[in-house]
Amino acid sequence: MRNLIISYRKLPSQVLETLNSTYPHGYDDHTFEFEIPGRQVICKAIRVTAEGVNYLIKLESRPKQTDFLLDEDW
């Protein structure tokens, strides 16, 4: 099987139809977050299989928030 990472905005119509039929009541409960290696970005995504291809569909991305200890006494 082939694996593809694709943005939601660039989805082919066939995959969009598969996504809508797989999750008819919405897919918010089935999403997960992952970090792209080498970047400070966290992406929210969902998985769908269509026509022998595993799609990882990126829904949104946000910058990774890092907490720094600002206490000088530490």
**Does 7 fall in a domain?**
yes
E strand or H helix that includes residue 44: strand 41-50
- Sequence-ordered list of residues with C-beta below 8 angstroms from that of 62, at least 6 positions apart, any chain: 41, 42, 44
Q: Please write the tens of the pLDDT for every residue from 11-70.
A: 999 999 999 999 999 988 999 998 888 888 999 999 999 889 999 999 998 888 776 666
Amino acid found at 66:
T
**Does 68 fall in a domain?**
no
**Does 73 fall in a domain?**
no
**Does 11 fall in a domain?**
yes
- Sequence-ordered list of residues with C-beta below 8 angstroms from that of 38, at least 6 positions apart, any chain: none
The residue range of the domain holding 58 is 2-63
Q: What is the pTM of this model?
A: 0.76
E strand or H helix that includes residue 20: helix 13-22
Number of domains the chain contains? 1
